[in-house]
Amino acid sequence: MMSGTKKRIKIVAAFAMLMVALLYLYKTLVTVNEPAVIPSRFGSSVVRIEEQRPWPPTENVDQRNLRINFEMQNSLLQAQRLELQTQQLELQRTKDQLAKLEEQVRSLQASTPRKYLKVKYLNYKNRKRILITGGAGFVGSHLVDDLMIQGHEVIVVDNFFTGRKRNVEHWLGHENFELIHHDIVNPLFIEVDEIYHLASPASPPHYMYNPVKTIKTNTMGTINVLGLAKRVMAKVLIASTSEVYGDPTVHPQPETYWGHVNPIGPRACYDEGKRVSETLSYAYAKQEKVQVRVARIFNTYGPRMHMNDGRVVSNFILQALRNETITVYGNGQQTRSFQYVSDLVDGLISLMASNYSQPVNLGNPQEQTIEEFAKIIKRLVGGHSKLQQTKAMEDDPQRRKPDITRAKNWLNWEPKVPLETGLQQTIAYFRNELMRSDRYQESSNKYFESPDLQRSLGRQLLDTTGGA
């Protein structure tokens, strides 16, 4: 009986163990075949993979090195980002400090009385309001100085095509001085007693650069000036030129000579522009009773000529100072007569004050060939520049010398400054300009080479490209 019961128990136990084994086997099979579910970084969707990956993943040496390298690069990048942010903050701080300093400098400048050249006191009756178009240019700025020193109120109008603020900055803020940025091709409404109309490029490369603008300035600009003179009954002096004689067939040139101009040549924009300017002046004088003065200005030189003026005086002096080849256009046998700028300014003021309304030559009758002139400059500057003949200029006037009998008779004027004295002054000016531009170049080079700037430029590059 007992052995029968034991036997039944054994059978039940064996059956139970079999069931457990079968259950385990089933579970294992289900787990292996079922796809794994892992969260996706794209929100709620899931990615199913068909095979179970071993974990932790096994990597070979290359993969390991790659991973380590990647981790190192990544931490380097993080460090650089941090440094960049720090530097950006620093830059902002420096910019803020700079803005504060600039503000302080401005308020200091405003509170410090500026030093001006001494000006004469003129009473209300004798003081004139004088407009100078092109007053920030080479000749204009010297005229400004003289009229200011005489005690007049001076208004400069300039479009700064060839004029420079620098030429008149020493008068900025003076109670008798005003600077207006305006192109005289457009009308101007202003109350004045006298007008010197000097606005126009005068150097051949400058006026040939934009011939249409040169014609407009000398025609529309002159009409605007004469119209203004008519409205306010101002006396007006027109700056004409020796170029109205073209390539002259009469020598020296008196004002009665009608000239020899090529009306369609490269210089025509200036030559014909100035001839129309003269014609307009006498038309307004006849028809509208405007008081006009016409100065025919011959080659003029002196300090404040532009470094890129392109005319012979500045070209030769700069070439000699830099020990470069002195470029003589053509065979160098063409002639010119050079007057120093202070003589011209005296002549302009005398002409304006005179009762003489016909054109007057203002120039120095001392004539030389361009080759001789090059040798004079080389001797005065020193150095070891060589003279070289290059291509001749088209329509270049071959002989030029003013007949100044009219100026002597009617204005009691003649030039006083000898050529070498004037050239010494001009050479000293250009020597100084060269040093100034070298200093400027040096400091800007230093600035651009500085590691700070490089870093900040690099940063800006990163900022604009959205890099890093």
Ligand X SMILES: O=C(O)[C@H]1O[C@H](OP(=O)(O)OP(=O)(O)OC[C@H]2O[C@@H](n3ccc(=O)[nH]c3=O)[C@H](O)[C@@H]2O)[C@H](O)[C@@H](O)[C@@H]1O
Binding site residues, ligand X, CB under 6 A:
202, 204, 241-243, 270, 297, 299-300, 311-312, 315, 327-329, 334, 336, 370, 393, 396
Q: How far is the CB of 297 from ligand X (least distance, A)?
A: 5
Nearer of residues 354 and 369 to ligand X, judged by Cβ = 369
Q: How far is the CB of 337 from ligand X (least distance, A)?
A: 10
What residues contact 284, with CB distance under 8 A and at least 6 apart?
A: 226, 229, 230, 290, 292
Q: How far is the CB of 306 from ligand X (least distance, A)?
A: 12
Q: How far is the CB of 155 from ligand X (least distance, A)?
A: 24
- The type of residue at 404 is I
Nearer of residues 179 and 349 to ligand X, judged by Cβ = 349
Give the count of beta carbons closer than 10 Å to the beta carbon of residue 150: 16
Nearer of residues 153 and 433 to ligand X, judged by Cβ = 433
Q: How far is the CB of 129 from ligand X (least distance, A)?
A: 28
Q: Is 301 a catalytic residue?
A: no
Nearer of residues 171 and 413 to ligand X, judged by Cβ = 413
Cα 309 to Cα 139: distance, rounded to the nearest angstrom: 13
Q: Beta partners for 236? A: 195, 292
DSSP track, 145-211: HHHHHTT-EEEEEE--SS--GGGTGGGTT-TTEEEEE--TTS------SEEEE--S--SHHHHHHSH
Nearer of residues 87 and 327 to ligand X, judged by Cβ = 327
Q: How far is the CB of 194 from ligand X (least distance, A)?
A: 22
Cα 323 to Cα 326: distance, rounded to the nearest angstrom: 9
What residues contact 413, with CB distance under 8 A and at least 6 apart?
A: 346, 347, 350, 351, 362, 404, 407
Cα 237 to Cα 348: distance, rounded to the nearest angstrom: 8
Q: Which of 384-418 are b and which e, b meaning 16 or more Cβ less than 10 Å from the residue's Cβ?
A: ebebeeeeeeeeebebbbbbbebbeeebebebebe
Residue whose Cβ sits closest to ligand X: 311
> DSSP letter at 257?
-
Nearer of residues 192 and 321 to ligand X, judged by Cβ = 321
Q: Which of 270, 284, 301, 340 is catalytic?
A: 270
CB 236 within 8 A of CB 194: yes
Catalytic site residues? 270
